[in-house]
Structures are given as structure tokens and as C-alpha cells.
Amino acid sequence: MGSQQKPGRVLVVTHPLREDVAELAEKLAAALRSADVAVRIITGEMRVLSRPEALLVVDEETSATADLVLALGGDGTVLRAAKLAVKADVPLLGVNFGKVGFLAEAETGELETVVSRLLEGDYSVEERTALTVEATGTDGEQHGSWAFNDIAVEKAEPARMLELFIEIDGTRISRYGCDGVAVASPTGSTAHAMSAGGPVVWPDVDALVVVPMNAHALFAKPMVVHSSSEIRIGVESVGTEGALIADGKELTRLTAGSTVTIRRSERPVRLVRMSGRPFASRLVSKLSLPVDGWRHGRI
């Protein structure tokens, strides 16, 4: 593991509805404060996280921006905390209290070890690709946002099909009648995109994933494109709305003539790493993959 500075100010983001997480957050904060680390605890609600003062860690002498964000919860909590960490340009450490916890670096039973290694600076930081999106409506109104895992254009009405076209780097690739299209970062390739039939991409691969969902078209294969590519999706459905989704949260509705442009974010997510375990090992354990195959033990 690399050697880092001991953080002086830590922002702890917790799951908003879990009392057990709140109790452990208080214990963790007490341990850090006893080592002269300023700590602030906030819930993971977006209405709180979107406020400018959310990044402030206040102690008796100072009101300053956090220099590390620690997320306690499942992947949803880590995704909410990631936006804060990127805004402050500081590392993010996830501790899993959820079911899968693909984005987390540690589990709940490792909190003592996490605190100890943070105080010793015994961890490394790796950069992960994130996404930006800009949607333009027929009236010219624009909506911009950011995502760590994925951006999706999906049908807003379950019984209707969404008509979309897709362009990559200015070239029309296809037109779909579909449930939607997901664009994922390598980190997000194991989330929505994988469930829709997309490939698993190792986090250090310099690429983005484009996955049509239940598409009726001659060419409707998942695509892996360079991370510098610009992906443009246009809504052509008349009478059927689309929904723009960023990391599982709806941003706006899309009508015929609306376009969505997705690019790699200029600011990556900086994830704290405390384990040298390779991604393949994490993939197998987190997804409980049956590595022996169905023929194992058969004659």
C-alpha cells in the first residue's frame, strides 16, 4: 500500500434510514476525534448533500472543507458520497453496510482496521472514470449532471416502447425501438449495464460502455468505446416520454426532439484502497460467481 497523509478533516456520510449505521458512525467519529481528526457526520439524503455547506467539517477552531469522505452504507450511499468527494477533490472510502457493496473497500467488521490505517496513512488512492451528461429539450432548456456508475435514457411508461437514435463521435450508429440505452463507466459496468447484458470492464480500462436495453434493431449489440468518445442519444418517440437517469436517480423527462450528450468527466473519483486484492477476486466474491461451472463433478 502507498503512504498517504493522515486526514485532518473527515466527512462521514451515512445511510439516512439505518440506525445501526448511525450508531457505528458515532463510534467511528469518536475514535477519529481522539486522534485529533475533525469529523462531521451527515445523512446520505441528496437534499442535504447538495447544499454548499455539506462539505464543511467544523471543530472548535476551524470551518474547513473535508480532506477525506467516508461513506457508511451500501453502493447507493457510496454513489451519493462520491459526488461530494469529487466536488471537494478529495479521496472517498466506502465501508459496506449493504448486500453487495461493490464500490466499498471495507466491510463493517473492519472498522477498527480502517480507522487505524487512516491514522497511519497506510492506504493508496486510485482514480476512477466518471461521467457527465447534458440534456437539451425541444425548448432549448438544458439539464446537466454527473454520475459515477451510469447514465441511462429509459422509457418513462412501462407499456410503451421508446424510439431512440444513437451517435458516437458524430456518426449515427443505429436507431432503436427499445426500453432504453445505458452508458456506463468501467466502474459502473457491473451495475445497470451488466444487468442489461453488457460486458464487465476492469476499472483501469480506458473505456465507456454503451448498452441498448431490449432493443428491436438489426444492430443492437453492447459497445465498448474509448473514454474520450462523445455519445449522443436522441429521443424520436412522439407521445412517449423518456426519462434521463443518473446513478439510479431521475433527472428530467425527455420528449421527442430532446437530445442527451454523455462524456467522460474531467474530474475522476479518487477511491481509497486498503487491499491489494485484484479486481477479478473482488468480482468473484461480490457476485458469488460459480467458478467451477455446471459440469464440475460430472463424469
- Output DSSP code: residue 270: E
**Cβ neighbours, 10 Å, residue 87:** 17
Candidate list 75, 150, 179, 247, residue with the active-site label: 75
Q: What are phi and psi of 124, to 5 degrees?
A: -120, 170
Instruction: Give the relative orientation of helices 111-120 and 19-33 as an angle to the nearest 10 degrees.
Output: 30
Q: Give just the sign of the alpha carbon dihedral 97, 50, 232, 218.
A: positive
Q: What are phi and psi of 24, to 5 degrees?
A: -70, -35
Round to whole Å and give the CA distance between 296 and 169: 45
Round to whole Å and give the CA distance between 215 and 245: 18
Round to whole Å and give the CA distance between 233 and 243: 12
Collapsing DSSP states into helix, strand and coil, what is residue 293? coil
Active site residue 75: yes
Pairing of strands 68-73, 92-96: parallel
Round to whole Å and give the CA distance between 177 and 38: 53
Tell me the catalytic residues. Answer: 75
